[in-house]
Amino acid sequence: MTKQQVHSGDHTAGIGGAISGPHHPDGSRCAIIPPYLLERLASLDDPGFGRAAAAARHSLVRRTVHSRPTGVATDPATALTTERPADVSRLVRSVFDARGTEDLPGTPVRAEGEPPIGDPAADEAYDGLGATHALFRDAFDRDSIDDAGLPLEATVHFGDAYDNAFWDGTRMVFGDGDGQVFDRFTRSLSVIGHELSHGVVQYSTNFVYEGQSGALNESVADVFGALVEQYAAGQTADEASWLIGVGLFTDQVEGDAIRSLSAPGTAYDDDVLGADPQPGHMRDYIDTVEDNGGVHLNSGIPNKAFHVAATTIGGFAWEAAGSIWYHALTAGDLTATTTFTDFAAQTIASATILFGADSREATAVSEAWDAVGVIPSS
């Protein structure tokens, strides 16, 4: 799989092969592994990757199967906790085990304040929920995902060799991976932070999951997923890896992660998976009808803009660049169909509000968008 440019209006080609007709969002979950990777695996006829191919085919089918609708309370019979705490800044976590089924939420296994249970997936999910909550609370004064103390829930061991992790509108859900290409999805803190950040987007601007607004949805989730990992490790922008999904690939894959914010298109280059197809500049923008209009592809462009801004400013990325992106997301001036140029203009405006028009932060943000070929809307 290689990078390819599909001209606007051409609905006959794209990442993953020929298709026809207009594409519309299918309502599928916001998942960390893009469909073009699963399609690549699903098409394998190498006996050595039979389990991975079968797992990918099943994971693709499950993308369009909805879980519990947003806003529906957990079944009291299986709930660890569903009530919001009186102190909305208090962290409340609940971890469930689907035990290889696709029934949500699963069996409760760990509640807030309880000790580790010895199941790596459950304990990693529990810790990841806490690390994500900590970033948004401490860096941005946000009370959980919805800014109103929402208890955080996660389900582990979803499905049989399920090759994905997703936010379904109410909870995090993690598969165990196929063991040949993907390991368990709780191994990566940036993945946990990414998926929960989709919830932050949902409760703020709620970008439509298609085209440039969908790519911004993915990019914002990548940005805050990276910041969750950096905050937990106490890393500066220069010290951070800027990778999303370290630890997801098994040793059989030639790749560091599933995406790179610092160098989009370089996260992996593997005989089986192909090469990372993400562009990092508007000149390489992929106009396609697949992947909901390239939401996991073109997100590399705003990802790179954030990386440039954060490393130019220096220090801890959540303190300046992260605060600017968070302010832009939550200021209330963006629409659900925001474009790259709209978002660029808002981040520059947010930098001006937070740090001043002549500040190095505002200059860095403006130069970052210029570096990726995005001209802010006036």
Catalytic residues: 195, 296
Cα–Cα distance for residue pair 341/298, rounded to 1 Å: 13
Helix (H, G, I), strand (E, B) or coil at 68: coil
Cα–Cα distance for residue pair 307/310, rounded to 1 Å: 5
Tokens of 214: 């969908």
* N- to C-terminal Cα separation, the chain: 37
Query: DSSP secondary structure string, 251-298?
Result: TTS-BS-SEESSSTT-SBEETTTEE----SSGGG----SSHHHHTTTT
**Whether the Cβ atoms of residue 44 and residue 55 lie closer than 8 Å to each other:** no
Cα–Cα distance for residue pair 272/38, rounded to 1 Å: 11
**Whether the Cβ atoms of residue 340 and residue 376 lie closer than 8 Å to each other:** no
- Phi, psi (5° rounding) for residue 244? -110, 120
Q: Which amino acid is at 275?
A: A
User: What is the Cα gyration radius of the chain?
Assistant: 20
Tokens of 215: 């790519």
Tokens of 331: 């200021």
Helix (H, G, I), strand (E, B) or coil at 10: coil
Cα–Cα distance for residue pair 371/308, rounded to 1 Å: 8
Cα–Cα distance for residue pair 361/351, rounded to 1 Å: 6
Cα–Cα distance for residue pair 174/167, rounded to 1 Å: 9
**Whether the Cβ atoms of residue 306 and residue 284 lie closer than 8 Å to each other:** no
